[in-house]
Chain A
Amino acid sequence: AQTVTQSQPEMSVQEAETVTLSCTYDTSESDYYLFWYKQPPSRQMILVIRQEAYKQQNATENRFSVNFQKAAKSFSLKISDSQLGDAAMYFCAYSPSGFGNEKLTFGTGTRLTIIP
């Protein structure tokens, strides 16, 4: 079974600085999707960024970028120029590709605090 591990339960960063959240996963599949979701106090699950395993290029969305290391099964999220609105719980998630259960397997989350 696939597993996703987020080893940092909490992190904090000074406003305008850069922070990196770690995620590792375990799978025997060669093709899959990886995601970072943000959950603010409103509890809504918001997709931050998505990576397809067969694409070698790291995904980028504005201030958010990932470092995808397929051989190491590592998928870290870098937030540049941190803003107060980035404060939230961040979840890393995995999904297999192909037909079948499109289940997302989530990590346990990292709570990010932004220090003004």
Chain B
Amino acid sequence: EAQVTQNPRYLITVTGKKLTVTCSQNMNHEYMSWYRQDPGLGLRQIYYSMNVEVTDKGDVPEGYKVSRKEKRNFPLILESPSPNQTSLYFCASSFRGGQGFEQYFGPGTRLTVT
């Protein structure tokens, strides 16, 4: 089954304790992206990757890091989380081809930083 997986699904942590949210896709997509969702703001892009070892900032990259060492994986790293990073996070992967464009989303990770 084609899918994007994220782990963990729920995480409660304290300010300053480094954490990683993993993302993996099994569709051999080159493009992957992270979004955060906050009430009244919709989803906003944090970082994206167009291929292995190619990453770039999205609209709200401050406080986050990413890496893309393998095509299927795109982890999101919070080296020193703060309460304003409490949010719902989505990983996505996509393809563009002759049949158009579609972005596949993971199930989301609910992060609470206290």
Contact = CB atoms under 8 A, between A and B. Distances in A.
A108 B31 contact: no
A102 B108 contact: no
Interface in B35-79: 35, 40-45, 48, 50, 56, 58-59
A103 B45 contact: yes
Contacts of A95: 101, 103
B43 A102 contact: no
A47 B58 CA distance: 22
Given A33-B100, A43-B88, A108-B42, A101 B105 contact: no
Contacts of A100: 50
Given A101-B56, A102-B48, A45 B100 contact: no
A36 interface: no
A25 to B, nearest CB: 13
A33 B105 contact: no
A84 interface: no
Interface of B: 31, 33, 35, 40-45, 48, 50, 56, 58-59, 88, 90, 92, 94, 96, 100-103, 105, 107-108, 110
27 contacts: A4-B42, A33-B101, A43-B88, A43-B110, A44-B107, A45-B43, A45-B105, A47-B103, A50-B100, A91-B42, A91-B43, A95-B101, A95-B103, A97-B96, A100-B50, A101-B48, A101-B58, A102-B94, A102-B96, A103-B58, A103-B59, A104-B35, A104-B45, A104-B103, A107-B42, A108-B41, A108-B42
Interface of A: 4, 33, 42-45, 47, 50, 52, 91, 93, 95, 97, 100-104, 106-109
